[in-house]
């Protein structure tokens, strides 16, 4: 038997595959983020707090997306990870942050709206080399 104080619950994970500029493929494991990290991000980015409360779509809090990605990669509050995440193409930032949010709330679709749009037509099954079927919900609208 394990003590409650020793319990570390398994968080849902997903693998994100991104093609680098040189053609190399990189895989990263992202997961849901803890309530404490979620609250910390919401304090730093008040627009994200409105998203969590259901009053806005995720894109209205775009400045929080790099912090969400860094936390989903296991590096909450790490400025270097946040800068790198912020330097990614916008479609990847939206897709990866959306996957972290989905994993955080353990559902097939995030309970918050990512955008008011339908799934884009993707040439070759991805955007910028990312295999989006692994990191984007079927529809981005709520």
Residue 103 lies inside a defined structural domain of this protein: yes
Using CA atoms, how far residue 117 sits from 50, 77, 111, in Å, is: 20, 30, 16
Residue 85 lies inside a defined structural domain of this protein: yes
Over residues 32-53, mean pLDDT = 92
The tens digit of pLDDT for each residue in 9-21 reads 777 899 998 888 8
Question: Which residue is it, tokens 């038997």?
Answer: 1
- Buried b / exposed e over 76-102, threshold 16 CB at 10 Å, is beeeebbeebbebeebbbbbbbbbbbb
Q: pTM of this prediction? A: 0.71
Residue 38 lies inside a defined structural domain of this protein: yes
Q: Which domain holds residue 38?
A: 32-134
Over residues 32-44, mean pLDDT = 94
């Amino acid at each position: 038997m394990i003590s409650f104080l020793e319990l570390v619950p398994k968080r849902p994970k997903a693998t994100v595959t991104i093609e680098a500029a040189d053609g190399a493929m990189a895989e990263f494991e992202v997961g849901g983020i803890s309530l404490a990290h979620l609250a910390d991000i919401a304090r730093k980015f008040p627009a994200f707090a409105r998203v969590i409360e259901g009053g806005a779509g995720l894109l209205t809090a775009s400045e929080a997306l790099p912090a969400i990605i860094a936390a989903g990669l296991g590096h909450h509050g790490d400025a270097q990870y946040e800068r790198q995440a912020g330097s990614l193409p916008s479609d990847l930032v939206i897709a990866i942050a959306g996957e972290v949010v989905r994993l955080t709330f353990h559902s097939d679709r995030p309970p918050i709206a990512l955008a008011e749009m339908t799934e884009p037509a993707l040439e070759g099954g991805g955007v910028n080399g990312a295999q989006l079927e692994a990191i984007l919900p079927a529809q981005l609208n709520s």
